[in-house]
Structure 1
Amino acid sequence: MRIAIIRLSSMGDILLTSPVVLALHKSYPEATIDFYTKDTMRQVIEDHLGISRVYPWNCSSNNGLEDMLDQLESLQYDHIVDLQNNWRSKRLVRELSGKIHRVNKEGIRRRVLVGLGWNILRERHVIRRYYSCISDFCISPLEEKIALPNTDSTNLTPPLSPETLATDFIVWAIGAKHFTKRLPVSIIAKTLQSIDHHVILIGDSSDCQNAQSIIAHLPKKHRVTDLTGKTSFLESVELIKRARLTLANDSVMMHVASGTGKPLISFWGSTTPELGFKPLSNHAKLITAPKRLSCQPCHTAGRSSCPKKHFNCMMTIEPGIIVESIDDALKEL
């Protein structure tokens, strides 16, 4: 049996497909299971158990999508699992002969939640929506747990010195794709001023300026290490695996942390857990504005700016609450 899974983006959504990959692998251990995604996203899934091969879409090529279509057609899959369900994925599968299984993203119901505040979603978590579309041929039950990439062979770069990894530390993943999903720099800095733990800041190159602003607001003798823009995705995963605690926005790193089984604190602004992306962990503390705002959630994925101009969904989160949550999480260890 040959199975193709299509999820082109984004990193968090791709990581959330891992329970479906595992269920298919357990159902058909001898099957070939290939994954189709953007070339910039392949590292999220290619080391997962059950994946035979990742076929990347070369986004920088004008013919990248057509090349992926040719690859799909040539391999003659028995089942094509479309977990993207947009015009690109529909273009890829429309002429294939295998049976197509397409996720119901409940787009209208999610927009009702955003626009009216009514939660009428049938499936409350996205992994259940993913599993629903393969339930007619997947034998194994869904395990509601994130399967993390294998980082055993990851070569750590110089910033990740043995001395750094040997000490007890907290990871704070300060980034997120959209502005309205990021906890403001001022709140992070005030929180760090109030704790005495070794904290490692992680993020991609777009987070470096925010990290520098955070560091600038700290006393000279602080215990914060800035590794934003200095670690690969797999190195960041390894850091989170070794951390005592992770703090993260609604982002791929939040889902990575949920897969470790260790304490996690997540922050929610323009998106809310009701949309179906809350961390799959019994050790997660979810922090939102102290008073639920009528404008929450304001988008299904996040925005580049606050449409109300006040950003109170994040700005009203008190550093003291975060400090208290950190203390409570570390007491559990």
Structure 2
Amino acid sequence: MQRVLIIQTAFIGDVVLASAMLESLHQAFPTAELDILVRKGNESLFKGHPYLHDTLIWNKQHNKYKHLWQILTQIRRNHYDAVINLQRYAATGFLTALSGAREKIGFDKNPLSALFTKVILHQMGSSTGLHEIERNQLLLYWPETKLSLPKLYPTQSDIHFVEQFKQGKYICIAPSSVWMTKQFPKEKWIAFLQQVPSDITIYVLGGNNDAALCQEIIDRSGNPLSLNLAGKCNFLQSAALMQDAIMNYVNDSAPMHFCSSVNAPVTAIYCSTIPGFGYGPLSTKSYIVQINRDLSCRPCGLHGKKECPQGHFDCGYKIEIAQLMRCLPAS
């Protein structure tokens, strides 16, 4: 085990969870060179990572398949001892099967798994009781590897940047999500901000595309101690800021996994999805908030949707603000 490649080109949260494998592999094989392949835009998660040798980047937005061939060439040149594919799609199966690695490891649900040297049963569903990091860990079948938690490593410049905001008590909220049905309704966020005690600063986090939503929530709440940081903090800076918050309020989305990666306190709000899918918070201090009664339509799918299939979105609107307030530490 001299050089290993991990493939995870999905969304941000999936990549953060994949960082657990870097921890496991480094502990088992401390001299091995560890590489990871991610989609363009996610490479900044691993800036300055102490255990990572190289980050390979697949640009899925521009000349996707031409770039896929270029990535394959790069992979073959690196002469990996093992390629570990966390995904279940043909494109990454193609990279794995033709990698030239001595060991090509992936899940049975990958359409090209017949060409792998080691195939692991993918166990999905609430009945398994497995978290995503445990599912991924099954790919590390070497007895030396032990389950580790995901971990990100904010750089000193990231830590220094957010020090300006760490004055007094504060919470962070991350109100947006790629999927509408994973997103706690903005009206509920507004109502929550109106109830947060006046001695607590609120930092609203997100990307550039989330800035307008975050500002609307702040403006309509009338909370004078709210600051819109959407688009102003990168991934690692956000994680560093969340680490010292008295609480972080997030959807079932990437910021929840940021909290897990730095063991930050977190309240995860589940709307259309459920914790039983295995993507829940891993922080020592973590809470789950969801509707207090069963809905026949929930969950409506493994992933979020662009709109509520039933048109009512009760799984979001019926969550009570008091549920969020109970997770706020007492003064």
Normalised by the size of structure 1, how large is the TM-score?
0.88
1:201/1:211 contact within 8 Å kept: yes
Indicate yes or no: 2:145 matched with 1:140: yes
Partner of 2:281: helix, strand, or coil? coil
1:245 aligns with: 247
Match for residue 235 of structure 2 among 233, 236, 256: 233
1:5 equivalent in alignment to 2:6 = yes
The secondary structure found in structure 1 opposite 2:319 is coil
Q: Structure 1 108/313 Cα, relative in aligned 2: closer, same or farther at 3 Å?
A: farther
1:302-330 Cα deviation digits (max 9, x unpaired): 1111111111111101112212221xxx2
Aligned counterpart for 2:153 among listed residues 149, 152, 164? 149
Letter of the structure 1 residue corresponding to residue 233 of structure 2: T
C-alpha displacement of 1:173: 1.1
- Structure 1 counterpart of 2:154, one-letter code: N
5+ residue gaps, structure 1, are 114-118
* Residue 91, structure 1, aligned to residue 94, structure 2: yes
Structure 2: which amino acid aligns with 1:148? Answer: L
The 1:259/1:65 distance shift into structure 2, 3 A limit, reads same
**Residue in structure 2 matching 1:291, options 293, 301, 305:** 293
State the Cα distance separating 1:107 from its structure 2 match: 9.9
Mapped contact 1:3–1:34 kept (Cα < 8 A): yes
Hey, what does 1:202 align to over in structure 2? 205
CA distance, structure 2, for counterparts of residue 165 and residue 134 of structure 1: 39
For each residue in 1:165-220, what CA deviation from the matched residue of structure 2 results, as whole angstroms up to 9, or x when unmatched?
A: 2232111111222111111111111111112221110111222222122123223x
Structure 2 Cα separation of the partners of residues 296 and 270 of structure 1? 6
Q: Distance in 1 between matches of 2:48 and 2:143?
A: 22
C-alpha RMSD over aligned residues = 2.2
**In 1, Cα distance between the equivalents of 2:25 and 2:248?**
30
Cα distance in 1 between the residues matched to 2:187 and 2:247: 21
Q: For 2:76 and 2:251, how far apart are their aligned partners in 1?
A: 39
Query: Quick one: distance in 2 between partners of 1:55 and 1:227?
Result: 29
Classify 1:24/1:95 alpha carbon distance in 2 versus 1 (closer, same or farther; 3 Å).
Answer: same
1:120 to 2:127 alignment? yes
Question: Quick one: distance in 1 between partners of 2:210 and 2:174?
Answer: 9
Structure 1 distance, partners of 2:169, 2:19, is 29
Which of 101-110 and 148-157 deviates more?
101-110
Distance change (3 Å), C-alpha of 1:34 and 1:244: same
Structure 1 residues 240, 55: CA separation in 2 closer, same or farther (over 3 Å shift)?
same
Is 1:46–1:54's contact at 8 Å kept on the other side of the alignment?
A: no
Distance 1:224 1:65, change over 3 A: same
**Equivalent residue, structure 2, for 1:102:** 106
Map of 1:116 onto structure 2: none
Q: Identity over aligned residues, as a percent?
A: 25
Residue in structure 1 matched with residue 70 of structure 2 by the alignment: 67
Structure-1 separation of matches of 2:275 and 2:302: 10
Match of 1:304 among 303, 306, 314: 306
Which residue of the partner structure matches residue 190 of structure 2?
Answer: 189
Q: Which runs of 4+ in 1 moved over 6 A?
A: 105-109
1:161 shift after superposition:
7.2
